[in-house]
Copies of this chain bind each other. A is one copy, B any other.
Amino acid sequence: MLQYQDLNPQLLAAEYAVRGVLTQRAQELEQKGRQIIYCNIGNPHTFLQKPISYVREILSLVEYPELINHQHKSQLFHSDSIKRAREILSYIPEGTGAYSTTMGIEFIRRAVADFIQKRDNIFSDFKRIILTDGASEAAQMVITAIIKSPTDGILVPIPQYPLYNASLKLRGGASIAYYLDEDNGWQLDEQALETSITQARGNGITAKAITVINPGNPTGAVLSYSNIQMIIRFAQKYNLSIMADEVYQENIYNPKHTFHSFAKVMHDMQINDVSLFSFHSMSKGYFGECGHRAAYFEIRNVPDDAFSQLVKLKSINLCANVTGQIATYLMVTPPNPGEESYPVYLAEKQAILNDLREKSIIIGEELNKIPGISVNSPDGAMYAFVKLELPEHMMEIAKSTNSNLDEMYCLALLEETGICVVPGSGFGQKPGTLHFRMTFLPAKDQIINLINQLKSFHLKFTQ
């Protein structure tokens, strides 16, 4: 019989905190009847954020095409939804039930390329776009492709979404941590990057790539144009590929900030010898369609023979789920002004983004009022990475017992209030600092209530 010690040590070493100890305990409590507020994961629809209607109208029609010609169709669906479902099925008469080609359905990849072209005003080649089951799959594919040996590493931010470290451990590569600058709105710091890569070299580790998450998870930071320029120059200097996790590109709340894609900035810099993998997904933004595992990644500056190896890797899984591929198509081709469903679409989109914006402001303002708690007000994404200052004696005890004080704090918070957040140690943090990540997806009044509960808890805990 297979035993624990028979398993791949790389798997045993991988950690994925977003679904770790806290979540397990929360589920246990929930089964005992406790009400849990899940702030641990960016899963908008669990907070009953409604899906964008035109997406679901069209998915419904392509799943059951009999509806398209039904006599009552115009009472059921907007006219442009029917038209678009017809258009989709004209490209794939076999429907949602057939494997697509490996990279994904061609007209969808063409639409993705058009979307990038419009967004950035630069050329995008649909032959370099691969549709995937979520952006996590895409990131793992790149890591699988570029890690050759345990001395190969990838620069990953601290704090970071733990997908990257987990996947690196799983593939037997080294994670080269670089610290984001909390005092400078979680931007990247060139000196910190240089320090990390130099230290890695000292340890015999060769950096092959750098991962950047923009807007940031868990930080909520939006990188400035010049910060991205610096990163690209750094990647060029050290011959690093760039893995640009841009899944929160629609989630920017502070009007002072704009999303700049790595593709666009690299194009502006006229750099074409830095390999770029950029990920986008329908799970975030105002769609929040996590369950559909709908995503794409665009590959730039990779020679044909290397690129074809990524395609082969994807082919072993055959193709991304087709309903998700169609969802991705709908993400990149929303209704146009003048179309029947446009006003509904616009109202739904704005309501969701305005609500998130308001909550990002509340989080930023109210959390900073609690003594011992501080946070960079999230300009983007769906998270705040909240800093804790705990009394000296607690820090000492934690140090001497070698225990994770942030995990203890989060567990106590969960037991006391039912609020489920993720300890900072799950994302990494500067030694000696303590954090937790929380989403601000719950409804506004729930968020306000939650902050009050957190405040009471924190005061009690620190006494």
Contacts and interface: CB of A to CB of B under 8 A. Distances in A.
A167 to B, nearest CB: 6
Nearest to A287: B97
Contacts of A274: 1
Interface stretch (A45-53, A383-391, A393-401): A45-53
Contacts of A368: none
B60 A134 contact: no
B19 A306 contact: no
A133 B321 contact: yes
Interface stretch (A67-75, A212-220, A354-362): A67-75
Nearest to A133: B133
Contacts of A171: 8
Contacts of A140: 316-317
A347 interface: no
A341 interface: no
Interface in A288-306: 288-293, 301-303, 305-306
Interface stretch (A112-120, A143-151, A249-257): A143-151
Contact of A292 (B7, B66, B70, B323): B323
A461 interface: no
A429 interface: no
Contact of A321 (B14, B44, B301, B323): B323
A99 B7 contact: no
A275 interface: yes
Chain A interface bracket (under 10, 10 to 19, 20 to 34, 35 or more): 35 or more
Contacts of A166: 316
Interface string A309-351: 1001101111111111000000000000000000000000000
A273 interface: yes
A16 B134 contact: no
Contacts of A146: 2, 6-8
B292 A14 contact: no
Interface string A164-175: 001100110000
A309 B59 contact: no
Given A45-B97, A98-B45, A316 B4 contact: no
A271 to B, nearest CB: 10
Interface string A62-101: 0110110010100110000000000000000111111111
A420 to B, nearest CB: 13
Contact of A163 (B4, B99, B316, B322): B316
Interface in A192-246: 208, 239, 241
A317 B137 contact: yes
Given A63-B59, A76-B72, A148-B7, A97 B316 contact: no
A125 interface: no
A43 interface: yes
Given A316-B166, A321-B133, A96 B64 contact: no
Contacts of A56: 63-64, 66
Contacts of A57: 64
A12 interface: yes
A433 interface: no
Given A133-B133, A292-B97, A309-B7, A2 B241 contact: yes
B290 A98 contact: yes
Contacts of A99: 41, 43, 46, 283, 290-291
A145 to B, nearest CB: 5
A41 B98 CA distance: 11
Given A303-B3, A306-B4, A309-B4, A321 B67 contact: no
A11 interface: yes
A269 to B, nearest CB: 15
A102 interface: yes
29 contacts: A1-B273, A1-B275, A2-B302, A4-B306, A4-B309, A8-B144, A8-B148, A11-B144, A11-B145, A11-B312, A14-B312, A16-B315, A16-B316, A19-B102, A43-B99, A44-B97, A46-B94, A60-B63, A63-B323, A96-B292, A97-B287, A133-B133, A136-B316, A136-B318, A163-B316, A170-B316, A321-B324, A323-B323, A323-B324
Given A3-B306, A4-B309, A11-B145, 5 more contacts: A6-B306, A14-B313, A76-B76, A97-B291, A136-B316
